[in-house]
Structure 1
């Protein structure tokens, strides 16, 4: 039969590859390292977060207001109990399939959720190749209901974003959104990764993995190629790495795709090859913080395996032979895992609304995915490379110094990672403009993000003063990833050209200058006399006037019967906009006339206006 298929395919140039996608028992693919033992829940009692969350300091991040909001995580696993009360409100809704336009694709209540009947139409509304894919896709059964099958996917989902509705806080990022993809074989896994990135996911996490000893063996080059595509689209991937300890033997204990390079090369990885999307995760006990004996030993090798293992069925492209171990004596291979996280003795969700114990690298991996969601929530400008760097450089040192082949770079610390991500938010100035109006200039500027921003000193120089000088200060918003708008009015300016710049000052006193911008305060188009304000007044008022050229100006005030009451201006005045204050404290109440007489080079201008003094 295989030969018949190959012969038929020869006539179709669009067929790039044919391979058998073997079906494996889920127990071979998943890495929980134990059974899902029920955990009792006391009605009406708020239970503490599960121990894994405490170990990685996730509650400290929540206290800062960051719970993973705005981040989408695809859980590529065995499906999950998506209407579990602790998951229901965090399930990603594919609004591309929201046919009735009501803003959601699932309805009902926790424990009794249904697909929105107004959206069920048997049509691929968003044109992504999947009909009525409201919350993800079941790639095993090829249908739109990636529901639970065995509990493993529900448990991994719960550690990503379980929100504690039923009494136990299990999720690292309890406000992240969860896309749900049900997978089994390798082809399922690859299709799910493609689906996730096509639908705007930020993080893909999977606690399914494919081991060296599988029959047929995993197509490692294809795993890496798909992971490379993830990285190119800005997706970070966290993956389990097996529970094989050192039973397979170095360098084959680490399973795929957790054996794929990560986005950031740690300094201790002195053999430098390519990068990809995957953070492979090791497993520590949630109480002892010690690496589990079943957590796999690295390193992994990316090399031509057929040299020493001629039975391996897939050709390795030269570009993927960049981390040799067996084929180059003394070579270090690829350090794996990348980080460790609590897996053993953690608690997560179980099908049907309850809780159960969890473990293995299956339990550790979603802790890392949830922490990545916290990082991206506070600083969405970060790249996968930067998130990987943050996770590794803030990890708690465990085992041998530096990055090693048991703990990786260490056990993750969500709060330290949050602090570094927060510190990396720049004060990003997205616009800075100046507009003149009469004898004033209005400055406006916008920031996209800010970190520790004390504020902006406004500096000016002009044809009258060639040195920069501060003319004002506008407070900043401290640290924020929201767009903020500012403005400042610089008034009573002479006619001429002005330059402005912003001096952005951090809370610690460090500063940075913006680019300078220029604006012209133009001469008036003609003579004018403005109405005083306020009017009526007591005892003082303001009078504004303008002259388009150097003029001899007289401004006088007369009583209603024509008696001179005051002379406010008498002399030569430069072209421009002018303002004077008139204090009538020594005058009685009444109606007064004020007059502007301006004798310029080209004409004489006279104008009168009335004002009322009320005492």
Structure 2
């Protein structure tokens, strides 16, 4: 088919030989339906214009007046006024916008507009990419363990589908209303290729939808029943084939690639060719009427089209969710709208991301965008139109991002078929991974984030009961709200069911304990109902008795029973027994960078407590010895006066501090704190080196080197500082340098030798753990903690072993083991009489105390080792 009456001079593309108009209800009787017949297999309506309209159009130039919508007009279509939309065709080129104004002047139309044409949103790229990176990125494999999408019909409103592709034929939708021979198929495999079932081609509209022999869909471009693309432009001929493959390529068939919506059925629809979409309205209407629950629209332009929006709204009313590409112009579609993306009540608008979750330069962005999805070098099914060969290729564009989001939408629908179209949109938006930190220039303009299929499916199918907090009630003991050895405590759980998860009923919690030093008195909590967005502390509680050593972690599990099933049936929890001497302070509440510090401590088997600055636990126990303080991305008010005063009091009491901050030197209060309490002068701020190397011979830095790069770190090393010791009691422990050794800038200073404070003038959290030949974060942390050992009683910091000593009429036994073990302890007088015996199960680190009354010599036996101790 050839179209030659186009305006292709700018972004507003439209036919110059026709206009579209919607007749007002009260004037519909004046437009006579003079004929209705099948044209090339599609039921078409022909109208006669009233004289009042003819008079403004110069009727001799009119070719025909036809209903825009082909096929059967349903009651739902009438409800949306689709039956009142007509197309006026002219015999030759006309001034379209003059015609629009003339028709509007009659007062008989809701709207009059050009027949707009939209461009496909593809950026051609090297096809030799064999990695579907987008599937693990959106966690598709985990989602497939929960549900498949073989009950869902999807439709690409596009340039046709190579439906006989080996990786598509098995999932092409079959219109069983046209299954004349009753074999349950309208598309069959003949042993070598896929073909229409000959027994179903009878030239009759068997399902009565207004289309003859539409076995797998329809071609609205060529107006026939074969929606395979027309060879025209090699760049765009397989656009619809690629898009369809992203959504629904035949999965688990030992061939080619996998579609996101596992074996969803793909309706084959052609609405354009050569890179342009002409008949999206009819394609959308057909898809919705035939049961498609997902429609994808990988095209667009700047022209608002009332009839197109109406068709999309009609599709939503039929239970279809619509997804549209944001476009590839690299512009803000909030200020330069693009359609259908910006029909915010009708479509989900999708921007593109690359493998690093960053917006490619070409992807549009802005307030119209609802979500982002993988769209850069996406590998999928393809078709070589020059020789009709079936291939695979990687293409880029928001054309690829939109079907990726659509595939997630199909999986949401499959996980919970009862969801409404609004529910599905909400879940898609709610379940994304926020990527603003990776796209600071586009924060808030890439929708809610990059789609995550696993999270979306979990939210659709399950309740989301989680434990936010464990409150300790030890009011029968010292009432300090901390579980300690020798206490029997009640544990009250604050639980929540976050937004977008399903309402939960019959909720109960069961405690699972494997710690021999914890005795469960009551391990069941009855909750009842917990609705979405509800947070409660049930009146019921767990009750446990605690023995063994402290401080230590108690790791336990909670089993969640609910209807529907909970997303996580087992929740892992950790409770601190006693008061650890290591305190991790998260002074940057906007990020989760504290996990880089706690994971390093976990790998070193250290007991610690994580708090926010404003939490009461900060200085509540004099057993604290070490604070690890980080400020992350906090670039203003990096150190408040209240925080400074607390730290000064802490240091004046003889405690120790490790502080990591890349913006502290640029803060007025922080810079004074550095000079007065961290033993350093600020030489230069905002240096950009990503390598830090330890000073030879320094107790902290000797032999260590680190790279602040790679995604396994926080990737936030933006403003490191050059610092230097400012008095004889401080020393430089690390220097910033280039990867090859060029550059020499102070990176870390240790103050009050041997070791009272360690200041890293950069983000510890940005250190990479995956650079071959470079040290890891936990090695930095270990060096700092070892530096603090000499004047610290922190058990977790002593070397592995047993260390008994006498103090204040007590025998104290410090112990620290790499793996937990049982300790058998016996104490004898010098004459050999046993005066004390105890067993500690699963001991790893702690202090065991034995009171002694008399002075003299004692013999201590711990397992097989014997120690002689003297109480003077």
Distance 1:59 1:402, change over 3 A: farther
State yes or no: 1:163 paired with 2:243. no
1-structure distance, mates of 2:150, 2:87: 41
**1:126 aligned to which of 191, 207, 214:** 207
State yes or no: 1:291 paired with 2:372. no
- Where does the alignment leave 5 or more consecutive residues of structure 2 unmatched? 1-16, 19-56, 68-82, 90-113, 231-236, 384-388, 465-501, 509-558, 565-872
- 2:369 alignment partner, SS class: coil
2-structure distance, mates of 1:385, 1:181: 25
2-structure distance, mates of 1:8, 1:76: 30
- 1:81 alignment partner, SS class: coil
**2:121 aligned to which of 10, 14, 31:** 31
The C-alpha deviation readout for 1:420-440, integer Å capped at 9, x for no partner, is: 001269xxxxxxxxxxxxxxx
Deviation at 1:78, TM superposition (A): 0.9
- 2:288 alignment partner, SS class: helix
* Residue of structure 2 equivalent to 1:206: 297
State yes or no: 1:415 paired with 2:458. no
1-structure distance, mates of 2:450, 2:115: 34
**2:262 aligned to which of 162, 171, 174:** 174
The C-alpha deviation readout for 1:305-356, integer Å capped at 9, x for no partner, is: xxxxxxxxxxxxxxxxxxxxxxxxxxxxxx2210000010210111133210
**2:339 aligned to which of 256, 260, 266:** 256
2-structure distance, mates of 1:374, 1:293: 29
State yes or no: 1:56 paired with 2:147. no
* Residue of structure 2 equivalent to 1:183: 271
* Residue of structure 2 equivalent to 1:281: 350
- 1:107 alignment partner, SS class: strand
Deviation at 1:453, TM superposition (A): 8.1
Distance 1:11 1:50, change over 3 A: closer
- Where does the alignment leave 5 or more consecutive residues of structure 1 unmatched? 41-48, 213-217, 262-275, 299-334, 426-449, 457-506, 513-615
State yes or no: 1:379 paired with 2:411. no
Higher relative contact order (CA 8 A, sep 6+): 1
Distance 1:34 1:166, change over 3 A: farther
- 2:279 alignment partner, SS class: helix
1-structure distance, mates of 2:156, 2:298: 9
How do residues 396-545 of structure 1 correspond to structure 2 at under 5 angstroms? 396-399=433-436, 406-423=445-462, 508=560
Asked if the contact 1:235/1:277 (under 8 Å) is kept, the reply is no
1-structure distance, mates of 2:63, 2:160: 33
The C-alpha deviation readout for 1:266-317, integer Å capped at 9, x for no partner, is: xxxxxxxxxx2310100001x211111111132xxxxxxxxxxxxxxxxxxx
- 1:289 alignment partner, SS class: coil
Q: In the comparison of the two structures, how many residue pairs are matched?
A: 369
Asked if the contact 1:137/1:145 (under 8 Å) is kept, the reply is yes
Deviation at 1:37, TM superposition (A): 1.8
Please tell me the root mean square deviation across aligned C-alpha atoms, in Å. Answer: 3.4
2-structure distance, mates of 1:12, 1:100: 34
Asked if the contact 1:33/1:359 (under 8 Å) is kept, the reply is yes
The normalised TM-score by structure 2 is: 0.39
State yes or no: 1:393 paired with 2:423. no
- 2:411 alignment partner, SS class: helix
Distance 1:220 1:404, change over 3 A: farther
1-structure distance, mates of 2:210, 2:247: 27
Distance 1:58 1:123, change over 3 A: same
2-structure distance, mates of 1:340, 1:376: 19
2-structure distance, mates of 1:510, 1:57: 25
* Residue of structure 2 equivalent to 1:151: 238
Distance 1:249 1:112, change over 3 A: closer
* Residue of structure 2 equivalent to 1:611: none
1-structure distance, mates of 2:88, 2:326: 24
* Residue of structure 1 equivalent to 2:33: none
2-structure distance, mates of 1:118, 1:350: 29
- 1:409 alignment partner, SS class: coil
* Residue of structure 1 equivalent to 2:324: 239
* Residue of structure 2 equivalent to 1:68: 149
The C-alpha deviation readout for 1:205-233, integer Å capped at 9, x for no partner, is: 12122x12xxxxx3432222222212222
2-structure distance, mates of 1:108, 1:509: 47
* Residue of structure 1 equivalent to 2:220: 139
